[in-house]
Amino acid sequence: MRTDTSPGALPARAPLALVPGEPVLDVVIPVFNEEKDLGPCVRRLHEHLTRTFPYPFRITVADNASTDRTPEVAHGLASVLDGVRSIRLEEKGRGRALRQVWSASDAPVLAYMDVDLSTDLNALLPLVAPLISGHSDLAIGTRLARSSRVVRGAKREFISRAYNLLLRSSLAARFSDAQCGFKAIRREVAERLLPLVEDTGWFFDTELLVLAERAGLRIHEVPVDWVDDPDSTVHIVRTATEDLKGVWRVGRALAVGALPLDRLARPFGDDPRDRSVLPEVESGLARQLLGFCAVGALSTVLYLLLYSAFRAGTGPQFANGAALLLSAIANTAANRRLTFGVRGRDRAVRHQAQGLVVFGIGLALTSGSLAALGAATADPAHSTELAVLITANLAATVLRFLLFRAWVFPERRDTPVNVKDDIR
């Protein structure tokens, strides 16, 4: 049993010592220009907590530099509803709002939810109960559990599942839904975890969960019923770009051991599997990233040379397809041997076939980019074509690594055969 009692270590997890009259739960609602939805949201949440939550609570509206009437609405709600307060921030960023409110709160359990209340509020008590009892350190709602009931469009469903696949493949995450705006954390955990989280925007949730999981903290998942808000103001492309940057930054920090996760260690109650598995994950991921980047750089040079050669006598689409096909075959072969350490001819044909599927995705991205460029201008310059293709290939490269690692060359854990048992 681990007996780490260093000053920075978390105390042993235990049921909360409740203080009569003081809030047990502080629910934060980050908002930006939500003058229309804020009032109905807070009133509905306040009524639900008053009726179902057995302890004192607080609702905090965190205004992220709104430019409409949101601050006035928040102030009005705080003046007429007991246990409601509003805080104004002069800079945008959901992560920034949560960090500021959680850091200053005196409630032992801290939570947040989106203002659209897409998540059924009946999941709120199951979310925070394991934190109050001392069972868990953090809790998240998940829309990807089999028992969850979710209503949303195919595009958002694909984006959500693809993002969580990315986290599992690149950061070895085991939690199922990083993006659901329905989470809670114990205050003593937040006090030690928040200083390690750099992001101030939408990636804040993911970074928080990854660091907590890597430190061996317990994350409780609650299946939720969730209905998509068609009027959501989230900018999908910008958010996805920032998330990819965050994944790369956190993955690199974990790979080189730059994060002092020992500050979050508990004397006992952590997951013993983390202590034996994570060092291998981090070193393996670092080696694979370096190998993949080296192979990718050489493949990109090969692709551009081939494209320029083919482009001299053919159209851009054929030149792109031919150059991408040849460089993809070479890329798969090089990554198979150098990045993922697969040798011999076993499954070589299968790996190349899977690599061609990945190539197809890259072709769709780059061809779509060329088509968009052609629609924008009738006769684009050759340098412009190359710039567009380089940008599209960067996006395809990230996806290629994830698919290679999770699907084409997944880690194999073969169990050795006991010769004596086999003879028997």
- Length of the chain, please? 424
Q: What is the DSSP string of 16-65?
A: ----TTS-SEEEEEEESS-TTTHHHHHHHHHHHHHHH-SS-EEEEEEEES
- pLDDT tens, residue by residue, 104-135: 999 999 999 999 888 999 999 999 999 999 99
Residue 420 has pLDDT above 60, yes or no: no
Name which of 167-176, 187-196, 273-282, 331-340 the model is least confident about. Answer: 273-282
- pLDDT tens, residue by residue, 174-189: 898 988 999 999 999 9
Residue 319 has pLDDT above 70, yes or no: yes
Amino acid at 238: R
Q: How confident is the model at residue 418 (pLDDT cuts 50, 70, 90)?
A: very low
Mean pLDDT of all residues in 246-274: 71
Distance from C-alpha of 142 to C-alpha of 223, rounded to nearest angstrom: 5
Q: How confident is the model at residue 365 (pLDDT cuts 50, 70, 90)?
A: confident
| pLDDT attached to residue 231 | 61
Give the H or E element holding residue 330: helix 316-334
Chain position carrying tokens 């042993």: 12
Distance from C-alpha of 264 to C-alpha of 273, rounded to nearest angstrom: 16
Helix (H, G, I), strand (E, B) or coil at 260: coil
The 3-state secondary structure of 175-244 reads CCCCCCCEEEEEHHHHHHHHHHCCCCCCCHHHHHHHHHHHCCCCEEEEECEEECCCCCCCCHHHHHHHHH
Name beta bridge partners: 227. Answer: 151
Residue 394 has pLDDT above 90, yes or no: no
Q: How confident is the model at residue 225 (pLDDT cuts 50, 70, 90)?
A: very high
CB distance 40 to 121 below 8 Å: no
Q: How confident is the model at residue 83 (pLDDT cuts 50, 70, 90)?
A: very high
- pLDDT tens, residue by residue, 15-57: 887 788 889 999 999 999 999 999 999 999 999 999 999 999 9
Q: What is the mean pLDDT of the chain?
A: 82
Selecting among 63, 114, 137, 205, the annotated active-site residue is 205
Q: What are the angstrom distances between the C-alpha of 348 and each of 190, 287, 336, 408, 419?
A: 48, 22, 9, 11, 29
Residue 397 has pLDDT above 90, yes or no: no
205 is catalytic: yes
Name the token pair of 293: 């980047």
| pLDDT attached to residue 88 | 94
CB distance 175 to 168 below 8 Å: no
